Amino acid sequence: MTERIFRYLREQQPETPCLVIDLDVVENNYRRMRELLPAAHIFYAVKANPAAPILSRLSTLGSKFDTASRGEIELVQATGVSADRISFGNTIKKEKDIAWAYEQGVRLFAFDSEAELQKVARVAPGSRVFCRVLVDCGGAEWPLSKKFGCAPEMAANLLTEARTLGLDPYGVSFHVGSQQTDLGQWDKAVGQAASLFSVLADRDIALRMVNIGGGFPAHYRHGIEPVERYAAAVMAAITRHFGNALP
């Protein structure tokens, strides 16, 4: 608890449970992630906390935003963020919401099925698309291996189809599971992504992005490794599997 939060609680004496966030901590955490992952673009997942002051602070810092709905896009837009800093990262979207986002200027969409790919092709022509891939979530307190994503073989075929449909097959994404404590899972997932890059390159398709999702654990009940260890594991995996050809 920071001194500012302590002082706020002491002065305000809230009568009901509440969440109090120090925006300076948010900013420091963002800046720290930028330092630890220098090759990455940070997309803040709006679903984590869509409070306007948080989105506004991150907007001024240059953050990009991962959104899961029209409502989340509207919240980000309210801070003045341009559409090129927004990813529509939900893999199951209403076609009318895809069309609306496209009208707003959003050009980056996630998918993990042929049906979703077809929707994007119909109402968001020429957009960049990335396919979410299933990965091993062993070591995570909240695994997502059965909720989102498709098998790598299917991902390769769908990204190939994306080109045929007039879309831009931009990359792949994965999520190693929430509260992931096994540092090795990022190496496995990045290796899987690199293999897809190779498969698609053989089909004359140059992927350019790996979305590593989330998974860095927060300190709840059990002790965890410092964030520096996780960031180092990610950067080591990227270097090991991609060398100098960073996506």
d(CA 48, CA 220) in angstroms, rounded, equals 16
User: CB–CB of 156/117 below 8 Å?
Assistant: no
Reported as type and span, the H/E element at residue 34 is helix 23-36
The pair of three-digit structure tokens given for residue 92, joined into one six-digit string? 């199951």
Angle between helices 52-60 and 70-77 (to 10 degrees): 60
Angle (CA) 232-208-187 rounded to 5° is: 30
d(CA 243, CA 211) in angstroms, rounded, equals 17
Alpha-carbon distances, residue 185 vs 30, 138, 182, 222 (angstroms): 23, 7, 6, 19
Question: Domain extents for the chain?
Answer: 110-247
Would strands 43-45 and 64-67 be described as parallel, antiparallel, or unpaired?
A: parallel
Dihedral-angle region of residue 132 (phi above 0 means left; psi in -120 to 50 means alpha; beta otherwise): beta
User: CB–CB of 83/127 below 8 Å?
Assistant: no
pLDDT per position in the chain (247 positions), as tens?
A: 899 999 999 999 999 999 999 999 999 999 999 999 999 999 999 999 999 999 999 999 999 999 999 999 999 999 999 999 999 999 999 999 999 999 999 999 999 999 999 999 999 999 999 999 988 755 445 455 566 789 999 999 999 999 999 999 999 999 886 666 778 788 899 999 999 999 999 999 999 999 988 777 676 666 777 889 989 999 999 999 999 888 8
d(CA 135, CA 177) in angstroms, rounded, equals 9
Give the model's pLDDT for residue 140.
42
* 110 bridge partner residues: 130
DSSP state, residue 15: S
The amino acid sitting at 181 is: T
User: CB–CB of 121/153 below 8 Å?
Assistant: no
**Contact residues for 132 (Cβ-Cβ < 8 A; gap 6+):** 91, 110, 111, 112, 148, 149, 150, 155, 172, 173, 174, 175
Give the model's pLDDT for residue 221.
62
Give the model's pLDDT for residue 127.
99
Q: Please state which CATH number belongs to domain 110-247.
A: 3.20.20.10
3-state secondary structure (DSSP) of residue 172: strand
